[in-house]
Structure 1
Amino acid sequence: MRWVRRTAAALTVLTAAGSAVAAKAPAGPYAAPAPVPALSAATLDARFASAARDIGRAHATAVRTGDRDRARALSAFRAPGRRFLAFDPRGDGRAVEVIGDLRRAARIAVVVPGADNALATFDSVKFAGGGARALYRRMAAEAPSARVAVIAWLGYRSPSTLGPHVLTDDRAESGARRLDRFLTGVARVNPDARLALLCHSYGSVVCGEAAPGLAGVPVDDIALFGSPGTTARDVSGLRTSATVWAGRSTGDWTRFVPHVRFAGIGFGPDPVSPGFGAVRFDAGSGPHSAYLTPGSPALRNLALIALGRDSEVTHA
């Protein structure tokens, strides 16, 4: 109990320190996105068009205000062939990108990223968009004739590792509600596809909170990697019929995270621990941000999970 109290006290101090950092964040000059209809097969193209217009407006604002990092990122977003289902430039930003044919895909993977994701870093392989493209290429290489799509879902306010929200599930709770609604819309667009959620770091907390609300969505697999915990005591606490996978690379610093939950701080048991009950997969030896790096064992196994080829996944 002394160890638990000391851990909770340390986390509380970190929360207080992070509050001072977060309080200084400016509101920014970017306008709210235009309203969009609920996601469905009938509204898919309208959503793509609306997000493209919002990206164009935000890019013009970034150029006008001298926001070079944002301008560079948004210029890349406007490249031919890129399609976004949602976009919000306010704060660090939100973006949901589709890679592949969402209407015709038989397998759809949704990448749910963790802390420090932002529009300015979206295309890095360490973050949502770059990692999702690496996953799409690997899925295509593993199954050239398969009809697949990958969604980079930065659809929530990703916390900063220097802020207080990274230590609690506040952002995860609101993100989970958004993720549930989004996946329900994806199922309306393509009711025949099977889905996999690939959840990195704090994104695994989001997926853990979302899992009980997905009973009507055809999610076959939920993969948690680099996870600090899910707030659930074990797989049964996620209340899902999906196969739950867990992986952690040997070079990932999250192995040192105290797996406690006290006074709303922390995320509970480690998903890779035997008592949690997840299926362990080999995640290699890279650092915390390298799971979706091309050529890594983690990327190959995550691609196989997303393709539904469970028997070919290598285990830890």
Structure 2
Amino acid sequence: MSAGGPVPPKATRARAWRRALLATVLTAAIAVPLSGAARPRIPAPAPATLPPITAATLQTAYAANRANATRAARMAAAHGDAHRASADRTLASPTRHLLAFDGRGAGQATEVLGDLAHADHIAVLVPGSDTSLDTYDRFHRAAASLYGDLAHRAARGTRTAVVAWLGYATPATVSPAVTTTGRADEAAPHLRAFVRRLRAAAPARAHLSLLCHSYGTVVCGRAASGLDTDDIALVGSPGTGADSVPALHTRARVWAARGSEDWIADVPHVSADLFGTTVGFGTDPVSRAFGARVFDAAGADHSGYFTPGSVSLANLARITLGETSEVTRA
């Protein structure tokens, strides 16, 4: 096309996306440090020292991490942070099963719902942005909703477990980090290592699924190569940083869904180079070009994929149970 000709619509959209990203980066570069400075760093003990996780050591790990969360709650309370102290105390409850806990800073936790040592089917949930110990309750509700649906749906005698893996420093929704794969690249080796440890603690026959939400889909995309998992489901995804399923280099079945009310549909699925950094995550995972198995999420909004009774939750449970022929397609 000649230099003076009209600009193609696709190029116009790409330029608009670059401008929007640049505005986000500049705004966040100013706002995020100021918001971070407004809240003093929360003190907490170092994580508990644990033996390698196996079926035989699970109860030891649960007890040690509950004790660590109790100490973290006391330190947060002494520091004057009642909200964090309450969150830590909740996780320290005898009814909670923590594979890992770190109360320092934004905090990290890995929680098991169900009998991991004897589970036939295991789902690992990987969360998106703005997930921390301060917001952990909503992540726990998602895991509990899935576990409840699995208990209702699974055949008699089938045992299930859900693992809520907050094992990385999630980016803030309004921040430079949320527009790049940087945090995901840092998280990917930790997720791979965790899945290896999980396989050591679970029965060898267990069917393992990764259910990844929002920025968590970027983490799963970066970790996919070499992951010993049977299924990877991407919901509310801005992209994975890969152009297609083959580019993920995984033997797992790859699924994707987006609800009709999810604002992520308005995010252009492009990549752009800004100041030497690649911003954006590429191909839309629910597009034909990406090549995932697209399933129905009905009217889910960005936070609604694990809503009890929803179409999306039912399909995520079917994927977890390996009932692939029962998954309803979009």
Please classify the TM superposition score into its range, dividing by the shorter chain length: over 0.9
Deviations 1:203-224 (A, max 9, x none): 000000110021xx2x111100
In structure 2, what residue type is equivalent to 1:133? A
1:163 counterpart residue number:
175
Contact map agreement 2:233 2:256 (CA 8 A) in 1: yes
Answering whether residue 77 of structure 2 is matched by residue 63 of structure 1, we say yes
Q: Distance in 2 between matches of 1:37 and 1:5?
A: 52
How many residues are aligned here? 310
Q: Distance in 1 between matches of 2:153 and 2:97?
A: 24
Further displaced range: 49-58 or 104-113: 49-58
1:207 counterpart residue number:
220
Further displaced range: 224-233 or 140-149: 140-149
1:29 is displaced (CA, Å) by 2.3
Q: Distance in 2 between matches of 1:301 and 1:310?
A: 9
RMSD, aligned α-carbons:
1.5
Say which of 106, 129, 143 aligns to 1:132.
Answer: 143
Say which of 118, 125, 139 aligns to 1:111.
Answer: 125
1:2 is displaced (CA, Å) by 4.6
Say which of 203, 218, 229 aligns to 2:239.
Answer: 229
1:70-81 aligned within 5 A: 70-81=84-95
1:193 counterpart residue number:
206
Deviations 1:40-97 (A, max 9, x none): 3344333222211210111111222221221222222122221101111122211100
Q: Distance in 2 between matches of 1:40 and 1:181?
A: 14
1:133-282 aligned within 5 A: 133-143=144-154, 145=156, 146-190=158-202, 191-214=204-227, 217=228, 219-263=229-273, 264-282=278-296
Further displaced range: 62-71 or 225-234: 62-71
Partner SS, residue 71 of structure 1: helix
Contact map agreement 2:207 2:320 (CA 8 A) in 1: no
Q: Distance in 2 between matches of 1:27 and 1:144?
A: 47
2:305 counterpart residue number:
291
Q: Distance in 2 between matches of 1:19 and 1:40?
A: 43
Contact map agreement 2:42 2:76 (CA 8 A) in 1: no
Q: Distance in 1 between matches of 2:19 and 2:57?
A: 49
1:106 is displaced (CA, Å) by 0.7
Distance 1:137 1:197, change over 3 A: same
Contact map agreement 2:207 2:321 (CA 8 A) in 1: no
Contact map agreement 1:179 1:210 (CA 8 A) in 2: yes
Partner SS, residue 212 of structure 2: strand
Contact map agreement 1:209 1:238 (CA 8 A) in 2: yes
Contact map agreement 1:113 1:203 (CA 8 A) in 2: yes
Further displaced range: 157-166 or 177-186: 157-166
Partner SS, residue 74 of structure 2: helix
Q: Is there any run of 5+ residues in structure 2 with no aligned partner, and where? A: 1-10
In structure 2, what residue type is equivalent to 1:239? H
Q: Distance in 2 between matches of 1:39 and 1:5?
A: 49
Q: Distance in 2 between matches of 1:37 and 1:267?
A: 38
Q: Distance in 2 between matches of 1:134 and 1:227?
A: 20
1:13 counterpart residue number:
23
In structure 2, what residue type is equivalent to 1:138? D
Q: Is there any run of 5+ residues in structure 1 with no aligned partner, and where? A: none
2:5 counterpart residue number:
none
- The TM-score normalised by the length of structure 1 is 0.94
Partner SS, residue 276 of structure 1: coil
- The TM-score normalised by the length of structure 2 is 0.90
Which structure has the greater CA radius of gyration? 2
1:247 is displaced (CA, Å) by 0.4
In structure 1, what residue type is equivalent to 2:141? G
1:8 is displaced (CA, Å) by 2.0
